């Protein structure tokens, strides 16, 4: 999430009651979680496993719960509970606003677009020209749809990220990170019935131009899907995945978090993707592997009883 204008790190430190060390005269341009940070961003870290990664990331300002060496040009904001400090900042700059109408007064809907009955279009949503939004679709606040997009019944665009801060030394183990990102759907995309596309935690979940979804597809937070992809029914894609242009995912494919599927790859039905995959290949199985090799292995597995009988002299 980008701030409306740069925010003094001294003001932020005062706001969250932090000790400030390092670049005390800097200004933050936005707030992000670790997977999406860029120069000028504010980020938080509260686990030793990620201290070095966070401090040495592209982020310029780090909310942290320990003193550490500060790289040049960066600043640390030291607090007892970085997650609570992060949440306070997000809630200040992106507060929850109830929408009391089916179509918000602040929504912008392009010429030639049809929004059918029982739809919800939230605050500051932008929908392009010549779109068709079928009945019972919900489009949450701040989401953006391009031109000639079609969304079928029962689909939800922009629901919160499934993303939690976990601490097992407190009564409530899982505390949700407030989602201040959006969903961006580019031109000529079709989304089937009963799909769910989560907004980014602090950045963008993106569906590229010309991509088509079947029914009952789920896309996790901050995932970026390229142009002209084909996603069949019951596909599940976790958060922070990059799916490059021209990829096909057939029915019931499951894709694990924070990996990349290369351009023009094809995943055959029921495959499980547990690691990044090269483009221009066809994959099958769990974990997904080259489909030719996977079929060959099956042939050999079926021959095991015959081979066993031969070894035993039967």
pLDDT of residue 34: 85
Tokens of 108: 């912008």
Q: Residues of 85-100 as b/e, b for ≥16 C-beta within 10 angstroms? A: bbbbbbeeebeeeebe
Question: Treating both helix axes as pointing N-terminal to C-terminal, what angle do 82-93 and 9-16 enclose, rounded to 10 degrees?
Answer: 110
Predicted confidence band at 209 (pLDDT cuts at 50, 70, 90)? very high
What is the rounded average pLDDT of the residues 291-304? 82
DSSP letter for each residue of 201-239: SSSEEEE-TT-EE-SS-EE-TT-EE-TT-EE-TT-EE-T
pLDDT of residue 30: 95
Residues 6+ positions from 65 with CB-CB distance below 8 Å: 46, 78, 79, 80, 81, 82
What is the rounded average pLDDT of the residues 77-99? 94
116-133 residue pLDDT tens = 999 999 999 999 999 999
Tell me how far apart the alpha carbons of residues 72 and 83 are, in angstroms, rounded to a whole number: 24
Q: Is 134 a catalytic residue?
A: no
Tell me how far apart the alpha carbons of residues 305 and 311 are, in angstroms, rounded to a whole number: 10
List the 19-22 sheet strands across, edge first: 2-8, 27-31, 41-44, 61-64, 75-78, 19-22
| CB neighbourhood size of 314 (10 A) | 7
What is the rounded average pLDDT of the residues 92-105? 93
Residue 294's alpha-carbon distances to 256, 270, 299, in angstroms, are 20, 13, 9
Closest C-alpha to 273, from 293, 263, 292, 259: 259
260-282 residue pLDDT tens = 999 999 999 999 999 999 999 99
For the ranges 31-35, 37-41, 79-83, the lowest mean pLDDT is seen at: 31-35
Q: Is residue 314 predicted with pLDDT exceeding 70?
A: no
40-60 residue pLDDT tens = 999 999 988 889 999 999 999
User: Are 144 and 184 a contacting pair, CB within 8 Å?
Assistant: yes
- Give me the catalytic one of 47, 218, 221, 275: 221
What is the rounded average pLDDT of the residues 184-192? 98
Tell me how far apart the alpha carbons of residues 268 and 18 are, in angstroms, rounded to a whole number: 51
Predicted confidence band at 14 (pLDDT cuts at 50, 70, 90)? very high
Pairing of strands 164-166, 174-176: antiparallel
The residue with greater pLDDT, 256 or 312, is 256
Kindly report the average pLDDT of the chain as a whole number: 94
Predicted confidence band at 312 (pLDDT cuts at 50, 70, 90)? confident
Q: Is residue 309 predicted with pLDDT exceeding 70?
A: yes
Tell me how far apart the alpha carbons of residues 113 and 264 are, in angstroms, rounded to a whole number: 31
| CB neighbourhood size of 143 (10 A) | 25
Q: Is residue 36 predicted with pLDDT exceeding 90?
A: no
pLDDT of residue 241: 97
Tell me how far apart the alpha carbons of residues 64 and 50 are, in angstroms, rounded to a whole number: 10
DSSP letter for each residue of 121-138: E-TT-EE-TT-EE-TT-E
What is the rounded average pLDDT of the residues 66-73? 90
pLDDT of residue 307: 76
């Amino acid at each position: 999430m980008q701030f409306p204008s740069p925010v003094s790190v001294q003001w932020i430190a005062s706001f969250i009651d932090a000790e400030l060390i390092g670049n005390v005269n800097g200004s933050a341009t936005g707030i992000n979680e670790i997977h999406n940070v860029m120069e000028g961003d504010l980020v938080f870290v509260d686990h030793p496993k990620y201290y070095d990664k966070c401090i040495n990331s592209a982020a310029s300002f780090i909310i942290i719960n320990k003193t550490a060496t500060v790289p040049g040009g960066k600043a640390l904001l030291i607090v007892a509970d970085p997650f609570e400090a992060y949440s306070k900042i997000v809630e200040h700059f992106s507060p929850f606003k109830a929408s009391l109408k089916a179509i918000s007064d602040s929504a912008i809907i392009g010429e030639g677009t049809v929004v059918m009955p029982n739809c919800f279009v939230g605050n500051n949503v932008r929908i392009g020209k010549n779109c068709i939004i079928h009945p019972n679709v919900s489009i949450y606040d701040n989401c953006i749809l391009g031109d000639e997009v079609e969304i079928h019944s029962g689909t939800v665009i922009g629901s919160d990220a499934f993303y939690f801060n976990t601490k097992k030394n407190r009564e409530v183990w899982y505390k949700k990170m407030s989602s201040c990102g959006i969903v961006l759907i580019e031109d000529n995309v079709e989304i089937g019935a009963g799909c769910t596309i989560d907004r980014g935690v602090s950045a963008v979940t993106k569906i590229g131009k010309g991509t088509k979804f079947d029914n009952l597809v789920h896309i996790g937070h901050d995932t970026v899907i390229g142009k002209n992809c084909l996603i069949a029914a019951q596909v599940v894609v976790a958060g922070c995945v990059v799916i490059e242009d021209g990829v096909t995912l057939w029915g019931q494919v499951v894709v694990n978090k924070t990996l990349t599927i290369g351009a023009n790859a094809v995943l055959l039905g029921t495959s499980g993707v547990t690691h990044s995959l090269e483009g221009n290949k066809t994959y099958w199985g769990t974990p997904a592997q080259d489909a030719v090799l996977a079929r060959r292995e099956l042939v050999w597995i079926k021959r095991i009883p015959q081979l066993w009988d031969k070894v035993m002299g039967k």
